Chains A and B, each alone.
Chain A
Amino acid sequence: MGETVKKERHTKHVYRVLIILGLMTIVVFAVRYVLIPEGWGEYGNFRTGAVADMLEIEPVHGRWDGCKKCHPDQWEAVRTADHATLSCESCHEPLSFHVENGRRKTPMPTDRSYKLCARCHRRIQGRPEGFPQVKIDDHLEEMGGEFGPEVCLDCHASHAPLEGLR
């Protein structure tokens, strides 16, 4: 008789512990569910969707030969002359500024300023010898020219700078 009472008491304790443990488990999983975002930990300590977000960004600059399709003549002229390694978008604007869904959106600007040329060709400290560079004042004195904001283009064609010097 006494034994049975003892057993019942024990069962009660076990149930209480089980209920508490069960509640704790539910709380842990609920907190995890709230805190851990979707796609977490599939490939590492990050959200898989973050990579997908990056992949969905549309490029602003086009491909290297993105301008060739519509401007084959200019493309050819640049690629066969001394500015062959220049990207069109470096001196003009990114392709997406000019084209949208394969159609012209905005006219492509042309920077005729001597400052654009000077970025690469002004003689400054640090520029490797052997790269064509001039001190603008000295160059004008030597070649005979008047300084103006578009002075370089008086003689040089930007697409083929050393051909047909004027």
Chain B
Amino acid sequence: MSRRTFLVSALQGAGAGAALVIAVPVDSLLADKGRVVERYDWNDHSYLFLVDISRCIGCGMCVKACKKENGVPAAFYRTWVERYTVYDEETTHIESPEGAMNGFGPSNPATGASKSFFVPKLCNHCKYTPCTQVCPVGASYTTRDGVVMVDRKRCIGCGYCVQACPYGSRYIDPESHTADKCTWCYHRITRGMNPACVQACPKGARLFGDRMRENDPVFEMVETRPVRILQPELLTKPQCYYLGADKEVR
């Protein structure tokens, strides 16, 4: 073989190799990992969450459903409901007994409170999330459809992400000693179901949407209604929006 023919054939081979890499659809790699994945393409989805505070009645059915759906260990919460009691501009009392897993019990009405309301909380699934940035082993990651999750097999349980999250959404599982958090019920949403908390909410205070679905009512609400995000000054770009949130909510 002459040098010329060798170079030509080498170039041809490289070209064919490059073409092969491009031709393989990106998600065929995921497709052969399990039957569920075959009918799910994460490039077709971009999820968002909307909490309508004015609708929340503080029953805590969402917390109960989340616990059962995800086997969340006792005393830890992937979602919880807080009761804000505002007295004046300086004083706000926030409580969440057992994450509101059993709702809010009878309580003496606070005297002198000017307003009181419930605020459901969960992971904000930030676009620029500090929790994945600080992970030293790449166990925290963001999927293409916008969900922040933890690789339990990879996590070393250092707890750095738990500290980094400004919303307190993460915890270290006391059994597996790995970080854990809300996944927007990834195993459900990829099957076309709603997250467990959204399905359990009797008042529609929790809504789950998809930007890439045609005429998505939740995305439309986020686009047209006066929504806000929590702690916008941190520039984390949460994908969880709040409707009717008072200025006290953080």
**27 residue pairs from A and B, CB less than 8 Å apart:** A43-B144, A44-B142, A45-B141, A46-B140, A48-B30, A50-B149, A50-B153, A52-B33, A53-B152, A54-B186, A59-B187, A60-B68, A60-B69, A60-B196, A63-B193, A64-B193, A85-B202, A87-B200, A87-B202, A89-B199, A90-B202, A119-B103, A120-B59, A124-B104, A124-B105, A126-B58, A128-B117
Chain A interface residues toward B at CB < 8 A: 37, 39-40, 42-61, 63-64, 83, 85-87, 89-90, 93-94, 118-120, 122, 124-128, 131
Task: Look across to chain A and name the residue whose beta carbon is closest to the beta carbon of B190.
Answer: A55
Count how many pairs of residues, one from A and one from B, have CB atoms less than 8 Å apart in the complex.
146
Whether B29 pairs with A42 at a CB distance below 8 angstroms is: yes
Whether B58 pairs with A127 at a CB distance below 8 angstroms is: yes
Whether B202 pairs with A48 at a CB distance below 8 angstroms is: no
**Range of interface residues on chain B?**
35 or more
Task: Look across to chain B and name the residue whose beta carbon is closest to the beta carbon of A59.
Answer: B188
Chain B 143-154 near chain A by CB (<8 Å), digits 1 or 0: 110000101111
B248 to chain A, nearest CB (A): 13
Report how far A52 CA is from B40 CA in the complex, Å: 11
7 closest Cβ pairs, A-B complex:
A46-B141, A52-B33, A50-B151, A57-B187, A119-B103, A126-B116, A120-B59
List B117-133 residues whose CB lies under 8 Å from chain A: 117-118, 132
Residues of A within 8 Å of B200, CB to CB, are 61, 87, 89-90
A37-B143 CB under 8 A given contacts A85-B204, A126-B58, A126-B83 = no
Whether B57 pairs with A37 at a CB distance below 8 angstroms is: no
Report how far A122 CA is from B29 CA in the complex, Å: 52
B199 to chain A, nearest CB (A): 5
Whether B34 pairs with A94 at a CB distance below 8 angstroms is: no
Residues of B within 8 Å of A55, CB to CB, are 33-34, 36-37, 40, 186-187, 190
Whether A64 pairs with B83 at a CB distance below 8 angstroms is: no
B61 near A: Cβ within 8 Å?
yes
Given A55-B40, A85-B203, 17 new contacts (CB under 8 A): A45-B141, A46-B141, A47-B153, A48-B33, A55-B34, A59-B69, A59-B187, A61-B65, A89-B200, A90-B65, A90-B202, A119-B61, A120-B57, A120-B59, A120-B202, A125-B83, A128-B55
